[in-house]
A and B are shown apart, each in its own frame.
Chain A
């Protein structure tokens, strides 16, 4: 990736104690380029008005920019704009689907064992969960998924395309094809995939796809739910209100068509416009280049963390697509991952995330009681930064590291 783009990210000029920071927490939220910041700000400074609420000059300008953002999202994923629903985040998008399908406890939802809580809890609440067998640190195996569908006969399969813990990439298109064979509704959590992988919903052939804008250079509070048109039209809205109806009488109402019927109330207009600018920025960079840079960072991450003592490194294998996400699990340390994260931050100015990464079942199943420190890189990161972070971890291990068994393992 051209290092010049680093200048586009104001946060990268931020210093702590006079030293520039290294930001390796993009899987939680990415940094924002000036283009996205400016576009978001422009709504508040240049054309503040509600959208689709009138015919004033400014309102029409605001509506134009908001819809332009939707068209950019559609272009980004190869979709029809009307099927792009602007939401606050992936969690809400998935929750909308779970709530809108009219599930009962009789309905089985097949989930991936590496699922983020946001792709578990809505299904737990509405239906009965079954899990695809297998190692949660590995990509889903299509054969195992097929077998699970045959056994459980689910109404829905909901899976994470890319693991937020170790970056493992499941073969989403193959899985959706299997689901379709069985008439199972497929829901793809693309929160970690959308920032890194080229997406074409036609090729993917899923029923629903959800992702967040803030993990891909957009403002926080922005997300997307895409659905197959007929699937979205059948989806019962979670909330109805202003903007979702064509006409209301004293006793009845008529719903608008897509996408409005699923966007109640005033949307996050500034955020959506910022997201549009962020996606334009990514499109200009080139999806293939982004993926290639991600591969380079992944390889650097793997090489730099390989052999780190007193830790288990959770990182997807080298056989498939490479996403620069790795979790460092302290083994036998007398401290939690929070202390490691704080030390990386305060002593080495490396920003990471600690804890259980909204994946309690995975951590419980593996017996990782101290959680893990996750390093996640993105387009603005360099190999040097990855090496610096790994060197910092080595130094921390040398002082705070565990005293018991040492395991450094990558899945094949």
Chain B
């Protein structure tokens, strides 16, 4: 192939700019042309050899323009939602098969990451003939991350000091307590949402990075964001269109000024998305009812940070009159799974390989197991990392636009598993059983010994606790005579300042 001359590339660029959709820009590269859709963030690079076809009529040119049209880059202008849909399809078509991606990852990490270099024999891509072979790889654990932070876990070619200096890299610290906490190196800017999230949410949320307001625990807000106490401007992110809302140290007694600040900041910022700790947001809803304050309008609420009860979701949805979607992530990889407008929690197959395992191996649909993730797109790559969560495959195929991403049910944290009736019981199973009785706002079940449980219940305003009803709802999971109920007006936050719905004093299991 003869490389295009500067003149040819300039001419092609000129032609393209006339034929491309508004907002799509062609820029000349040393060996080709890059097309960037400024309205969606989508970008594609055309090689030098394609350049002549851009300006000369003929079959090659027709094929190229047809390809660009399929990507939503050519005129006539289409609806932006449709454009994003087409571009998402193009991205998906360009993605190599999963096994190839895993082999590429292994080849890269054993070459570039000290931790994996030292264990290169275990990560030989030539021994990866199938996904079953991948299941033979060792697990990565939090203590591995702690012991090897930071230089053992990032590519030797990464200039961490430079990255921290110029702000392109960040060190995130988790909010966990002693045995859970860790730090991790991450890119400062990550596309939190998958490309084309309009289809995912069924609500127009605009461009590539929607304006997002975060409302979470003070530990997350202070350790990760460090902006919780500042002014509105100080709480704006300098690198992304985000705002960190003021939070509270006492979610069960949110002071009126904090509540007013929440409402005013949201009104002023006009976020497309409110990303919130669901139990803290439920407390905001309670406080708003208490003070007779009208909550602001928000197009989409994404819940994360901790397990959400059905009751919390229902209360939030009703109070904000907005859809509430699960956004399952962690400090180590904040893009694990995302909920669509049809209620399915889709694994982010674009950036993670997701496994659910129990003692006997991969779990069948409907069987909860420990989550192990492998990440394709992180500064700190993770391979079969036991993230400390429990989930189950649904076995259902969702009919939304992201139907090729498998769906899961999130069950909570592994450390919160309780042991009852001879088996491990998850936070989700307990919450399914508790349901959404009108009288109940919050609860937390604690296993205090192998044969005793305590459930703290916070009744809704003006309601009395109906513990008999709760006992009946839970009896298939826990024998009623082993449970002590304690009506309370508040639940003391955990060391991470999360509220939590389940905890245990007993040793729990890593892989159920």
Contact = CB atoms under 8 A, between A and B. Distances in A.
Nearest to B143: A17
Contacts of A401: 161
A343 B182 CA distance: 9
B164 A335 contact: yes
B112 to A, nearest CB: 15
Nearest to B145: A346
A399 B178 contact: no
Interface residues of A, number: 18
B149 A347 contact: yes
B163 to A, nearest CB: 8
Interface string B108-132: 0000000000000000000000000
Interface string A289-318: 000000000000000000000000000000
Interface string B283-296: 00000000000000
A16 B178 contact: yes
B165 interface: yes
B151 A399 contact: yes
B375 to A, nearest CB: 20
B188 to A, nearest CB: 11
A402 B161 contact: yes
Interface in B172-209: 173, 178-179, 181-183
Interface in A101-124: none
A335 B171 contact: yes
B363 interface: no
Interface string A13-48: 000110000000000000000000000000000000
Contacts of B49: none
B165 A334 contact: yes
A64 to B, nearest CB: 38
A113 to B, nearest CB: 28
Given A334-B164, A335-B164, A17 B173 contact: no
Chain A interface secondary structure, helix, strand, loop or mixed?
helix
B150 A399 contact: yes
Interface string A372-412: 00000000000000000000000100111111000000000
Given A347-B148, A399-B151, A333 B164 contact: yes
Given A17-B147, A339-B171, A346 B183 contact: yes
A395 B147 CA distance: 13
B200 to A, nearest CB: 34
Q: Select the residue from A338, A399, A403 with max chain B CB neighbours within 10 A.
A: A399
Contacts of B148: 347
A399 B160 contact: yes
Contacts of B150: 343, 399-400
A346 B160 contact: no
B1 interface: no
A342 interface: yes
Contact of A403 (B147, B149, B165, B167): B165
B181 A346 contact: yes
Nearest to B167: A334
Question: In the complex, which range does the number of interface residues on chain B fall in?
Answer: 20 to 34
A17 B146 contact: yes
B183 A403 contact: no
B178 A403 contact: no
A401 B147 CA distance: 19
Contacts, number: 48
A334 B161 CA distance: 7
B162 interface: yes
B173 A339 contact: yes
Q: Select the residue from B148, B162, B171, B179 with max chain A CB neighbours within 10 A.
A: B171
Contacts of A398: 151
Contacts of B147: 17, 347
B146 A403 contact: no
B161 to A, nearest CB: 6
Contacts of A16: 178-179
A258 to B, nearest CB: 40
A347 B185 CA distance: 14
A17 B179 CA distance: 8
B143 A339 contact: no
B164 A346 contact: no
Q: Select the residue from B149, B150, B161, B179 with max chain A CB neighbours within 10 A.
A: B161
Q: Select the residue from A346, A401, A402 with max chain B CB neighbours within 10 A.
A: A346
B161 A346 contact: no
B489 to A, nearest CB: 28
B146 A400 contact: no
Contacts of A339: 171, 173, 183
A122 to B, nearest CB: 25
B149 A343 contact: yes
Contact of B164 (A343, A347, A400): A400
A346 B151 contact: no
A345 to B, nearest CB: 9
A217 B321 CA distance: 57
B446 to A, nearest CB: 25
B101 to A, nearest CB: 29
Interface in A254-279: none
B117 to A, nearest CB: 16
Given A333-B164, A400-B161, A402-B161, A347 B146 contact: yes
Nearest to A348: B147
Contact of B162 (A17, A347, A403): A403
Nearest to A397: B161
Given A17-B147, A339-B173, A346 B182 contact: yes
Given A346-B181, A400-B160, A403-B162, 13 more contacts: A16-B179, A17-B146, A17-B147, A339-B171, A339-B183, A342-B183, A343-B150, A343-B183, A346-B149, A347-B146, A398-B151, A399-B151, A400-B161
26 contacts: A17-B143, A17-B147, A333-B161, A334-B161, A334-B163, A334-B164, A334-B165, A335-B171, A339-B173, A339-B183, A342-B183, A343-B149, A343-B150, A346-B181, A346-B183, A347-B147, A347-B149, A395-B151, A398-B151, A399-B150, A399-B160, A400-B161, A401-B161, A403-B161, A403-B162, A403-B165
Interface of A: 16-17, 333-335, 338-339, 342-343, 346-347, 395, 398-403
Interface of B: 143, 146-151, 160-165, 167, 171, 173, 178-179, 181-183
- Across the A-B interface, give the 4 residue pairs with the lowest CB-CB distance, nearest first: A334-B164, A399-B151, A346-B146, A17-B143
